[in-house]
Each structure stands twice: as C-alpha cells, then as structure tokens.
Structure 1
C-alpha cells in the first residue's frame, strides 16, 4: 500500500470515528475530481456543484457502509456518477446548453472556459473544438457518457469502471466501444 493509500485509509478510519477534520481532508482530496466527473456528465456548472455537494453529504452519512477492501475513489465515483445520472433523468427535456446564463452578458457557457494564456485565434479555435466535443459528449446516451468519461477523462481502469457503475467488464467494453463509435459519428458531421 503506497503512502497516499495509507494516509487516505487513516483519514477514512478517523472520519468513521467522528473526526470531522479527517472528513474535511477527504473532501479536500476528492472535491475537484468529483466536481469534474459531475461536470463532464452534466455539462452544467451549477448542477455539477450541486451533485458534488450531494455526493459528499451521501459519503458522510454512509461512511460506515464503505468497504475498505475496495478503493475509496471507486466508491465515491459511483455515488457521483449515480447522482449525475439521476440529475440527467430529472431534467426537463427542453433544457438547452446554449441558453444564455443570467449575468454572462450574452456569452455562452463554453466561451467562459477559454485559457487566458492563448491568443485570440487559439481561444476561438479551442472554444469551437470544446463546444463540438462537449456537445457530442452531451449527445451520448447517459450510460455511454458515464463510462466514456470515467475511462478517458478520469483515466479509470476497466475494473474500476465496473466497480463504479456496477456492471460486468464485458458490458463496460461494449459501452466504451459504442460510445466511441457514437462520438466518431457525431464529430464527423460537425
């Protein structure tokens, strides 16, 4: 067991015993990763923040049910993924990612993601590419979107993804293959 895992396991043990500082350390360790998984699944900053917050509330209230024989990250990703999928199911069908956001003065969500270190031309190209890729990802069926994000954005192994979404590895492989094919088709026509 490497140093991070032993430290993480120590934090988990202390948090299970009621040490709020240990739980705060766990939140600090995973908050960005949980947010990024949620954001990539939902494509909406506010919803991702809500899901991340709900994830940690669930982790806190269910910490006793965590089985240390599995990676903590797998358990927390499963909670975040399931909450993200639930949020997608609860959405109204006419939700538009291109809708103007109050206070953004007409900017679309992807325009606010530009890297300030790039030239204006690079920013435009990056924005367009990000918009195309994010739109293609958002157009995927949530079951494909979840495994694609966990594999290619979070860089989880097939076994870890299987643990997160609680499906056999063969199903994960199929969903990744079909998700890649769907993305390829969507991006080819853009």
Structure 2
C-alpha cells in the first residue's frame, strides 16, 4: 500500500491531478472521521477535511517521503482542527435544553431509523457520553486520544503527526485517559 501511495504522490508531483483524486479516495473517510471526532460537528468536519486535502495538494512538493504520506496528511488535518478549535469557543452542549421544547436536550433529538434493543441503546449512550467527554478534554489530550484509539495510530505516528516527542505523546494519552476515567468514576458514584 505504501508503494502505491508513494507512486501516486510522485505522479501528483509530476502534474497528474487524477492521481490526487485516487489519494483523496483512499483517505477521505479517515480524514473526515478524524475531523469529526475532533470538532464534534459534521459540517465543520467536512469543511476541514476538504481544506486538509486542498492544503496537502497545494503543498505536495513539501512532502519528502521521510514519513508515511498518511501521517503527513493526518498532521495537516489535525493542525487545521486544532486551529479551528482555538478560534472557536464551545457554543453548545448536548445536555443543554433545546429552545421551544419542554426540557428536551440534544441527546433526545438524535434520530434512529429503527427501534433498538435496550442493550444497544445503552451502549450507544455510553459512546455518545464518551465522545462528549472527549470533546471536553484539552485539545492536546483530545488529539492524542483520538489518534491512538480512534485512528489506531502508533505512538511514533502520533509523534510525527503532532510534531512532539514520543514520551510527550505517552504523557498526553495517559493524562487524557486519567481525565476521562475520573469523569466516569464521578458519574458512577453520583448514580
């Protein structure tokens, strides 16, 4: 796979735009998922993923092959997401009441195409709660957690994508996990 991507990158550097479409096809879902998990907003994630691919295309000459192309692309997307999150303060909460309703919150507004068994609903709620708590983490911990557990990247790949040393990656993952653990322990005690 790496050889195929390296060949496609080489073709793009030689002016073949169709080769870049192939690169986009290979990575579009993963880049969108990363952006969505970092921002929690589908429309922003679409915009950021599109911008990441545009920036990668415009800067393809700067890619030197020292790292995997996917790591370089994830780094671009991650940096765009971090920049967007720094500029934007959270303006909503999934627990906040939806205006014009009798106490309904955003959780209650999520649609389902078919009724699910209670266990599936409970699992889904846990995932949503986890996603909401991940979004509350400081961006440096959130990014490390998402790249490790959602994108299944190695510590070395995360180090390259975030441009930080591996020990710092380990620390951020550990602190992010501890923060999440603390929140869920408090939630369990209060129930």
Shorter-normalised TM range: 0.7 to 0.9
Q: Which has the larger radius of gyration?
A: 2
Count of equivalent residues: 182
Match of 2:106 in 1: 108
Task: Kindly indicate whether residue 71 of structure 2 is the aligned counterpart of residue 36 of structure 1.
Answer: no
Give the direction of change, closer, same or farther, for the CA distance of 1:54–1:125 in structure 2 (3 Å limit).
same
Q: TM-score, normalised by structure 2?
A: 0.86
Task: Give runs of aligned pairs for residues 76-87 of structure 1, distance below 5 A.
Answer: 76-87=73-84
Q: TM-score, normalised by structure 1?
A: 0.87
Task: Kindly indicate whether residue 14 of structure 2 is the aligned counterpart of residue 17 of structure 1.
Answer: yes
Task: Kindly indicate whether residue 44 of structure 2 is the aligned counterpart of residue 47 of structure 1.
Answer: yes
Task: Kindly indicate whether residue 175 of structure 2 is the aligned counterpart of residue 164 of structure 1.
Answer: no
| Cα distance between partner residues in 2 of 1:83 and 1:90 | 11
- The alpha carbon displacement at 1:114 in A equals 5.5
Match of 1:27 in 2: 24
- The alpha carbon displacement at 1:10 in A equals 0.8
CA RMSD of aligned residues (A): 2.3
Gap regions ≥5 residues in structure 1: 101-105
| Cα distance between partner residues in 1 of 2:126 and 2:109 | 11
Gap regions ≥5 residues in structure 2: 99-103
